[in-house]
Chain A
Amino acid sequence: MATETDSSSEEGVDWRSDASAEEMTRRERYGEFYRRMVREPAIIAWSDLRTRVGIIILSVYLLMAALDVFGLWRNPSPNQAPRLLPPFQNWAFPLGTTQSGVDLFALIVDSTPFILLMVLAGGVWATTLAVMVGTVSGYKGGSVDTAITSVSDFFMAIPGLPLVIVLAITFSPENPILLGVILTINYWAGLGRSIRSQVLSIREESYVEASRTMGSSTFRIIVKDVLPNIMPYVMVNFVFAARYTIFASVGLYFIGVLPYTGQNWGVTLNNAYNQGGLFTMQALHWLLVPIVAIVGLALGLILVSQGMDRIFNPRVRTRLSGESESIEGEDDTTAPPGGMV
């Protein structure tokens, strides 16, 4: 191994001239990959106002998470500021303070990484499981389908939140990832069911039948022929699962049935609600700040999902690449012609 790396670094010129053709195609392939998977979706996403606003909102949350991870803002602690300071008065405490003199902005920032991690875990868990269950049972059919459908029927019959409450008492999850998974513990069932019904119609398409006659494996057909078709639906539902995770967690923290160590948005809301935030106008900001944090994150996610359809819609994408080739000279801004590749 050592000699090989040595020789390759020394005889770099030889190596490159030797394999230049192959290198070009590889670079081309990467370029193509970049263009198809990163650049085009980004352009389409940015061209949609809703997605653009959504991306900006989500970036703000990532920034807040970064503030906390790198310790750029103070940690929340009681009596670090005057009590019930209104927002936008003192720029040392931009969002005001709580009744016990805790900086509200610090409270919100402090729990942002936790919430984001939990939301991601919940969304990924729910959608991944649903896609696996839905595609396999929809495509395979027969006894596999019957077995999977019966199991998911059972999970669909359990209302989410009460089950989560009982599970939360049993496991007292404080890890954000575990919590995200528990919150969406039976979310996959319903989603898997609707993915299954989409797969049912896709498997009758002629191109799937063509793959089948060519002897492609089930796995390959599902990944290559079925998945791309349901991707927009899956991504939109990923966002809905993520939204459900935020709402469920905040709701359960709010009524005080989830265990917690530090304060987070739901706990702050609960404190504001129970310690008099409901009765006086002076404490209204204490109630509103966590609300805005929750609603903002959900809004960002929904806005991004609204434009998701366009990213995955092959017609929109064909139009984009068509433009970049035919109207090269006229429009440089949408997509610079082939030069990238």
Chain B
Amino acid sequence: MNYYLRRTARIPLTVLAVATLSFGLIRLLPGGPFTQLRLQLIRQGVPVEQVNARIEALQNIRPDAPLWQQYLDYLIGVVQLDFGQSISLNQPVAEVVARALPWTVFLVVTSTLLMFAGGVIIGAVQAYWEGSTFDKLASSGSILVMAVPYFIFAVIFLFFLAFQLQLFPTGNAAARDIEAGISLDYFASVIHHAILPIAAFTIGGIGSTALSMRGNGIQVLGQEYVEVARLRGLGDGRIATRYVAQNAILPMYTGLLLLIGFRLGGTVVLEQIFSYPGLGYYLIAAVNANDYPLMMGCFLVITVTLVVAVTIADLTYSFIDPRISTGDADGY
């Protein structure tokens, strides 16, 4: 079967597995999903049937149904994008998640692209002038930057640039008084609010990307085919891009697949620090408010986003590595 088709067909399967896991985790949560709420309502004198009906409305689960029935109901709900009702926000979870998702995707995609581009350029320059002062400085800088977690950059940026110097806002994704829409003001505000989170999320990654690009670049530069290309009289530009860069970036591209997962997960802490209204922010808010439907909804959507992102990255991988689409999919 076609590689692309096969790869895309795996998405629903993975999502099903993740939904099952998320269903299992809801069962595992301390005291079951709604014990606390249920006790509270019964104590208030609400009849048991009504309590059950309300809980059923909150989560797409009937508490008195057998487990397989609950599981099926849950899956059907997920397919219909019905994740239940958020307790703390009193809104459908799907609505909250739909509002939050674009911000998280925006943060992760922008910062990952910047990180990759910056790291590749710096690493390539380092590899080309191996042993130069710039190489040594950049290597030390990379190691130093790798040792600092992104949330520490976030705290430092917030402290100096947002609170002390007041150059940047301390929270939110856009100024409240500007209406969302396609206007220059709105875009400017969005970017102004996103600069600090994106910078904090990018800097550390640039270090490790540059280091591995440097290593790969040096290795590729020593290969015989590069020498042969030079002897054949090919232009420097062609050698640098087609022969060196492409082969040096290739192994890093698979690392990128893994990185997306870590970065998507990392937004939980990042968005919390910057009060950036993405999925991670709502996940933590839900955790703190014991809002299980919202929590599991966010968890599920973050996971599905990751599955889709990895699939996209996987598919584009075949553009730069022709071995993949010709069937040797095991190559990485």
Write the residues of chain A forming the contact surface with B, with a CB cutoff of 8 angstroms. 50, 153-154, 156-163, 165-167, 169-170, 172, 190, 193-194, 197, 200, 243-244, 246-247, 250-252, 254-257, 269, 273, 278-279, 281, 284, 287, 291, 294-296, 298-299, 302-303, 306
Contacts and interface: CB of A to CB of B under 8 A. Distances in A.
Interface of B is mostly: helix
B151 A169 contact: no
Interface of A is mostly: helix
Contact of A157 (B18, B255, B266): B18
B262 interface: yes
Most B Cβ at <10 Å: residue of A193, A255, A306: A255
B328 to A, nearest CB: 11
Contacts of A197: 254, 331-332
A303 B152 CA distance: 19
B109 interface: no
A170 B299 contact: no
Interface residues of B, number: 52
B147 A298 contact: yes
Contact of A159 (B265, B269, B273, B332): B265
B155 A269 contact: yes
A285 to B, nearest CB: 12
B289 interface: no
A162 B29 contact: no
A159 B143 contact: no
Interface stretch (B50-58, B178-186, B302-310, B317-325): B302-310
Contact of B152 (A157, A295, A299): A295
B146 interface: yes
B194 to A, nearest CB: 19
Given A159-B261, A161-B265, A302 B299 contact: no
Interface in B141-165: 143-144, 146-149, 151-152, 155-156, 158-159, 163-164
Contacts of A158: 18, 21, 261, 303, 306
Contacts of A156: 258, 261, 310
Nearest to B27: A170
A173 to B, nearest CB: 13
B14 interface: yes
